[in-house]
Amino acid sequence: MTTTRRQFLKAAGATGAGTALMLSGCAGMEGSGGKVVVIGGGFGGATAARYVKMWSPNTEVTLIEPSRSYVTCPFSNYVLGGFNTMDKITQGFGGLTGAGVKVVHEAATAVDTAKKTVSTASGTMAYDRLIVAPGIDFIWDGVPGYSEAASEAAPHAWKAGPQTALLARQLEAMSDGGTVVIAVPRGPFRCPPGPYERASMIAWYLKGKKPRSKVIIVDPADNFSKQGLFLEGWKKHYGDMIKWVPGKDGGKVERVDVAAKTVKTEGETIRAAVMNIIPPQRAGAIARTAGVADNTGWCPIDPLTFESKLVKGVHVVGDATIAAPLPKSGTAANTEAKIAAAAVVEMLAGRMPSPQVLSNTCYSLVTPDWGISVTAVHGNPSSGITTPQGSGGVSPAGRDDAFRKQEAAYARAWYTSITKDAWG
Amino acid sequence: MKFDSIPSGITAFAPLAAFVAAFGLSVTPASAQSPNAAVIAANCAVCHGQGGAGAGDVVKINDKTPAQITEAMVAFRDGKKPSTIMGRIAKGYTDAQVAAVANYIGKK
């Protein structure tokens, strides 16, 4: 027996639980009606809110984000490199408001997934479907000797904002000949190539201002994202200024002493002029509040819809998800948000989402004009994320400076486009 | 480029299917192979801008015809058109997906 959409909607409406579906039935192709609440205004949340509203104008979309602006982690390393500014990586929410998204600058304090409500300090709002984009939280005690308080002396700068500015000030204040230590956390963590791009950007700054200085990366892992390209670029541009200590050579951190400015690894104790300690991570707190994080600390999702595998009616996008082989990157959050937005619109309308395409593009700079990239294209059936054979991968090694300069220019275009895409 | 509505694509989906089944109904899977052009084309926006308007060094694509976009994507995929990144990306899309995106973004 087959069912027409109208019959389906009628059946759904008869339960009393299908209000949104009935709204959609009335609205036809104008949109899907209903109420969508998005929690979190980063790459994932902003994109999700924008695209639900774009694809279904008569859906009421509310974005809950306590901050009045969002400072992007992408391009924050270039502030450390001395050729970008905090204001250029700060995004406002006016574009989303202009697009018809209601933006509430409060923290979501409670989520009732049975009653389908989200609470903030000023009240409780109902949703038909909820999208959470929790980002990451730090596991502060994941590095012995480190803490949230210690991050004021030894910044993580892994959530961009005051921490980025603090690390930049410390680099400016250090004497020539000092050592900057970057401690990489165990995976998975936000922005897999981030620590290595950061080393590049700090080296760029030091090469120009404090050329006798060193950057040491201490790493529990034995390999890293875009490794061959980074190593090629470091050798070419920085000689032996950057030293990477992998886990097999004792790179795992055992303890940090922020007061003494020492980092003790399995292999040695390093005295640092500047310490950049990046703690291990898990999904942001709202994931636990909403019950969508599992015992790994991250959020299992159905790749077809990015709906939580733990709580129906709640979609999760961005760094908080378990969506390998997609990395925890801004572009991944953006593409996941579009899949979730499309699925939400389809489901509100009583239609069934079909598999689409997820894509990730991630640029890193080794110098301001020497760019490298990794990209990937994926299918998203419920059975698991797929990768078409031969697609994606890192940019070729051994290319000339013109090629690398072009990639650096494309990185800047990417930032312009993706931030406009998400925040408007 | 229009984002006003997204075309429907229907495939098996467990929760809704269970919901429908509870009413003794069933849903006919429609053409699962028909790509949802608006959603797939949205991936292009992260570099090429919303609607393919271009940004900085990344070229505008919404002034190209669907045939030109398709031709370029095939040439990228086959390695006949040099690129930094598009060759790697083009290899991830099926002919049907390329055609759908080209029709969606391309100049009408």
Say yes or no: A104 and A188 in one domain: no
**Would you state the pLDDT for residue B108?**
83
Q: Is residue A360 part of a domain?
A: no
Are A8 and B27 inside 8 Å of each other by CB?
A: yes
Residue A129 contacts residue A36 (beta carbons within 8 Å): yes
* DSSP state at residue B55: B
Taking the mean position of all CA atoms in its chain, how far away is CA A364?
15
Confirm whether A158 is domain-assigned. Answer: yes
Least confident of A35-44, B2-11, B47-56: B2-11
Using an 8 Å CB-CB cutoff, list chain A residues near B4.
Answer: 54-55, 57
Q: What is the distance in angstroms between the Cα of B85 and the nearest Cα belonging to chain A?
A: 7
- pLDDT band per the 50, 70, 90 thresholds, residue A31: confident
A146 is a domain residue: no
Percentage of residues in chain A having pLDDT higher than 90: 92
Lowest-confidence segment of A248-257, A302-311, B30-39, B62-71 by average pLDDT: B30-39
Out of B26, B46, B97, name the one closest to residue A3 (CB): B26
Are A191 and A300 found together in one domain? no
Residue A185 has pLDDT above 80, yes or no: yes
Of A314, A333, A354, which residue constitutes the final position of a domain? A354
User: Mean pLDDT over residues A31-49, rounded?
Assistant: 96
Dist CA A414 CA A335 (whole Å): 14
Structure confidence at residue A352 as a pLDDT band (50, 70, 90): very high
The rounded mean pLDDT for chain B is 77
Mean pLDDT of A383-400: 97
Q: Is the pLDDT of residue B26 over 60?
A: no
Residue type, A276: N
Mean pLDDT of A292-313: 98
Exposed e or buried b per residue across B53-78, where buried means at least 16 C-beta atoms within 10 angstroms of its C-beta: bbbbbbeebbebebeebbebbebbbe
Residue that has been written with the tokens 């900057």 in this structure: A180
| Whether residues A15 and A37 fall in one domain | yes
* pLDDT above 90: residue A233: yes
Could you give the CA distance from residue B64 to residue A269 in angstroms, rounded to a whole number? 59
Q: With 50 as the cut, is the pLDDT of residue A239 above it?
A: yes
Of A129 and B11, the one with more pLDDT: A129
The answer to whether residue A256 sits within a structural domain is: yes
pLDDT at A219 over 80: yes
Q: Which of A279, A307, A327 is the last residue of a domain?
A: A279
- Tokens (6 digits) for A6: 């109208």
Structural domain harbouring A309: 5-137+282-354
* Binary contact (B57, A406; C-beta < 8 A): yes
Q: Are residues A249 and A324 in the same domain?
A: no
- Report whether pLDDT(A123) > 90: yes
Say if residue A11 is in the same domain as residue A121: yes
Q: For residue B11, which residues of chain A lie inside 8 Å, CB to CB?
A: 352-355
Same domain membership, residue A165 and residue A116: no
Does residue A40 share a domain with residue A123? yes
Residue A30 maps to a domain: yes
> Which residues in B lie closer than 8 A to residue A359 (C-beta atoms)?
43, 46, 89, 92
Sign of CA dihedral B27, B32, B34, B35: positive
For residue A10, is pLDDT > 50? no
Asked if A4 has any chain B CB less than 8 Å from its own CB, the reply is no
Which chain B residue lies closest to A338 (C-alpha atoms)?
B39
pLDDT for position A228? 98
Residues of A with CB below 8 A from B86's CB? none
With respect to residue A381, please indicate whether it lies within any of the assigned structural domains.
no
Residues A264 and A339 in one domain: no
Rounded to the nearest angstrom, the minimum Cα separation between B32 and chain A is: 6
pLDDT at B7 over 50: no
Q: Are B17 and A352 in contact (CB < 8 Å)? A: yes
Domain boundary among A231, A248, A279: A279
> pLDDT-based confidence at B29, cuts 50/70/90?
very low
C-alpha span between A423 and A41 (Å, rounded):
9
Kindly list the residues from chain A whose CB atom is less than 8 angstroms away from the CB atom of residue B94. 388
Is pLDDT at A21 greater than 90 in this prediction?
no
- Contact assignment for A345 to B26 by CB distance below 8 Å: no
Look up the pTM and report it: 0.89
* Identity of the residue in B23, B32, B94 whose CB atom sits nearest the CB atom of A354: B32
Q: Is residue A118 part of a domain?
A: yes
Domain count for chain A, please give it.
2
Q: Does residue B85 register a pLDDT over 60? A: yes
Site from B43, B62, B93, B105 to mutate, A interface, most A CB atoms within 10 angstroms: B43
DSSP designation for A329: S
- Whether the pLDDT of residue B25 is over 70: the answer is no
Measured CA to CA, the distance from residue B59 to residue B99 in angstroms comes to 19
Verify whether the Cβ–Cβ distance B46 to A418 is below 8 Å: yes
CATH code of residue A32: 3.50.50.60
- Domain assignment present for residue A298? The answer is yes
Position A272 scores a pLDDT of: 98
Binary contact (A392, B92; C-beta < 8 A):
yes
A108 lies in the same domain as A52: yes
Closest CA to A330 of A162, A133, A181: A133
Q: Are residues A133 and A210 in the same domain?
A: no
DSSP letters, B18-33, are HHHHTTT-------TT
The pLDDT score that the predictor gives to residue A244 is: 98
A287 shares a domain with A270: no
Residue A239's CB is within 10 A of a number of other CB atoms, namely 10
Q: Which domains does chain B have, with CATH numbers?
A: 33-105 (1.10.760.10)
Q: A78 and A9 share a domain?
A: yes
